[in-house]
Structure 1
Amino acid sequence: MRAITIDHPGDEDVLTLTDLPDPVAGRGEVLIEVAAAGVNNADLLQRQGHYPPPPGTSELPGLEVSGVIRALGDGVTEWKVGDRVAALLAGGGYATLAVAPASQLLPVPDDLDLVGAAALPEAACTVYSNLGLIAGLRPGQTLLVHGGTGGMGSHAVLWAKALGARVIATAGGERKTAAARELGADVVIDYRAEDFVARVDEETDGVGVDAILDVVGADYLERNLTALAPNGHLAVIASSSGPSAPLPFGLLMRKRATISGTTLRARPLAEKAAIVAAVRENVWPLVLDGRVRPVVDAVLPLADAPEAHRRMASGAVIGKLLLRA
């Protein structure tokens, strides 16, 4: 197979297209002929040496793919060779072949673009596990999505709207605020031009939002808690502004708020299987009827992985970048 390898941490140019032996599906796994792989910020961190793959998993980057099952490992009965699937991976997606646990597959019907489906597994599993399973977002509630046009944020906007929630999204600049509106956000806040806390207060008549999906972390902690309604939940899935911040306990307790912080990649297989199963039951029907769709900025050849990482680092991407295998 051909794959993108990382010999040592560094800039985008350490991503090298290499010929490697074909992987083999083990027990409970399937071998996928990859159509496309999603590019995530986690891949950039891995390339830089800050986010190593979990022990025993592929050293190759790439946390999600779409494609066609080429072979079944022992014990796999639910799937068959030739099935079109999207898969959540711990690594190995930047390749023409990838191995995935059978429990981390989602079906891709014929009327769903197979390449575009690569944009869905990581976002769907991250968003639903945080907002559906932990925060318990319900129809009629209000969600604040930071980075409402990013890979996670764009999916969160679509899913929450399909659920029946009201969505407030932050984005930076005219191009991204326009994109957030096109995705269906009820209120869009240009964080470069206005204070999101004041706008949330105005838009919710002083009540606040029921849940927040946050990718900023430290710099937004106190402001996020201020923007929460009583009994609200703050779900932190990234911390682009730094590793730590003081926690205002008084504000936290007055709001009776809860905070969760999660990553997906290193969770035990059983946990990821449960998340994928929940996504298949609760999110996938919305994908199949078109209310939730892949948001794809561009599709690049696998050999252009360095350019994909440069585009990701620029902050200009709306939705997901994909690498076509």
Structure 2
Amino acid sequence: MKAVLLTDFGSAENLYIGETAIPEVKQGEVLVKIKATALNRADIGQRNGVYPPAPGESEILGLEMSGEVVQLGEGVTSVSIGDRVCGLLPGGGYAQYVNIHEGLLMKIPDNLSYEQAAGIPETFLTTYQSLFSLGQVKAGQTVLVHAGASGIGTSAIQLLRAVGATTLVTAGSEEKIEYCLELGATAGWNYKKGPFLPFVKEQTGGKGVDIILDCIGAPYFEQNILSLIPDGKLVIIGSLGEKVLHDFDLGSLLLKRFQLLRTTLRSRTVERKIELTKELMELAGEHFASGKIVPVIDSVFDWTDVQKAHERMESSQNIGKIILRITD
């Protein structure tokens, strides 16, 4: 089969389409002919040699996919050959075929294309794990979502709206903020205008927010703490800004009661990923089918333009997911 491979770690120019073996289908797995996959920041890290796959997993980039079931492994009962499915992967999405445990599959509603469905697994499962499984968000609570126009951000806004929570966002342009408001966010702050703490205080009447979903890291840490209500929750899912804190006043940390939560999805066991997949579909499956929740797609590239797709993600211009259409 064909797959996107690397000549060496480094720039997007090192990506190319080459030949590799079709993966073996084991008991409980299916083989999917991939129609589309989606880019994630983890792909950039893996391409640069700083975020390797778990031992024994595919070294091909790609943490999610959509496609058609073409082969069933021993014992598979939940799907049939020909089913349209999408699912979370430990790797291997930038290819024509992938093997995946049947429990990780979500059937694609008729109203969604393969390109749209490819934008569901990683972002919505990460959001669900962060805000619902860990954060235990409830109706009536207020959540601050950083990078609100990203794939994670746009999925968070829609899931929070569905359960009756209020969403505040930060983003890097007025265009992105406006889009977040259209999705259901209550208010947004352009971080290029300065600190977001005064915005949060204004929007909450000085109380602060219940939960913060943060992918920026160190540059936002102190403001995040000061933006929380007593016993609020800071859920960190990335460090796009910086990992190391500098000149941090420990006093502000000790004066606040809060929970610091850190999670990743890729390192979870298959069993836990299957549980999360089931829980997400219980919460949002009907909303996907009705069109109330729709994965936000920024752009679709043919996978022969994978270098351009990576460059777009690195430019941070996207609103929503960047998709690769896998062709023969």
TM-score (norm 1): 0.96
Match of 1:192, SS state, is: helix
Give aligned pairs, total.
325
Structure 1 stretch 175-184 or stretch 211-220: which is displaced more? Answer: 175-184
Structure 1 stretch 21-30 or stretch 4-13: which is displaced more? Answer: 21-30
Structure 1 stretch 259-268 or stretch 241-250: which is displaced more? Answer: 241-250
Residue in 2 that maps onto 1:322: 323
Match of 1:43, SS state, is: helix
Residue in 2 that maps onto 1:284: 285
Per-residue deviation, 1:252: 4.1
Residue in 1 that maps onto 2:146: 146
Kindly indicate whether the alpha-carbon contact (under 8 Å) linking 2:138 and 2:163 is maintained by their aligned counterparts in 1.
yes
Per-residue deviation, 1:249: 5.5
Residue in 1 that maps onto 2:46: 46
Residue in 2 that maps onto 1:18: 18
Per-residue deviation, 1:253: 4.9
Match of 2:193, SS state, is: coil
Residue in 2 that maps onto 1:275: 276
- In 1, distance between residues paired with 2:209 and 2:198? 12
- In 1, distance between residues paired with 2:303 and 2:314? 17
Match of 1:85, SS state, is: strand
Kindly indicate whether the alpha-carbon contact (under 8 Å) linking 1:232 and 1:255 is maintained by their aligned counterparts in 2.
no
- In 1, distance between residues paired with 2:118 and 2:13? 24
Q: Summarize deviations over 1:203-222 as a string: whole Å, max 9, x none.
A: 10111001111011111111
Paired-residue identity, % = 39
1:109 pairs with 2:141: no
- In 1, distance between residues paired with 2:56 and 2:210? 39
- In 2, distance between residues paired with 1:273 and 1:249? 39
Kindly indicate whether the alpha-carbon contact (under 8 Å) linking 2:160 and 2:167 is maintained by their aligned counterparts in 1.
yes
1:258 pairs with 2:259: yes
1:207 pairs with 2:224: no
Residue in 2 that maps onto 1:74: 74
Match of 1:21, SS state, is: coil
Structure 1 segments of 4 or more deviating over 4 A?
A: 246-250
Residue in 1 that maps onto 2:92: 92
- In 2, distance between residues paired with 1:114 and 1:173? 29
Kindly indicate whether the alpha-carbon contact (under 8 Å) linking 2:111 and 2:291 is maintained by their aligned counterparts in 1.
no
- In 1, distance between residues paired with 2:85 and 2:112? 11
- In 1, distance between residues paired with 2:148 and 2:239? 15
Per-residue deviation, 1:110: 1.7
In structure 1, list runs of 5 or more residues that go unmatched: none
Residue in 2 that maps onto 1:228: 228
Q: Summarize deviations over 1:222-247 as a string: whole Å, max 9, x none.
A: 11010011121111111012223267
1:114-133 correspondence runs (5 A): 114-133=114-133
Kindly indicate whether the alpha-carbon contact (under 8 Å) linking 1:189 and 1:199 is maintained by their aligned counterparts in 2.
yes
Counterparts in 2 of 1:192 and 1:283: CA distance versus 1, 3 Å: same
Q: Summarize deviations over 1:17-68 as a string: whole Å, max 9, x none.
A: 0122222211121111111001001001100001001111111000000111
- In 1, distance between residues paired with 2:301 and 2:229? 42
Match of 1:30, SS state, is: strand
Per-residue deviation, 1:141: 0.6
- In 2, distance between residues paired with 1:107 and 1:253? 47
Q: Summarize deviations over 1:263-298 as a string: whole Å, max 9, x none.
A: 111211111111111111112222222221110011
Residue in 2 that maps onto 1:185: 185
Q: Summarize deviations over 1:82-118 as a string: whole Å, max 9, x none.
A: 1111110000000111111211111112222222100
Residue in 1 that maps onto 2:175: 175
In structure 2, list runs of 5 or more residues that go unmatched: none
Kindly indicate whether the alpha-carbon contact (under 8 Å) linking 1:124 and 1:283 is maintained by their aligned counterparts in 2.
no
Kindly indicate whether the alpha-carbon contact (under 8 Å) linking 2:298 and 2:318 is maintained by their aligned counterparts in 1.
yes
- In 2, distance between residues paired with 1:189 and 1:272? 33
- In 2, distance between residues paired with 1:283 and 1:222? 33
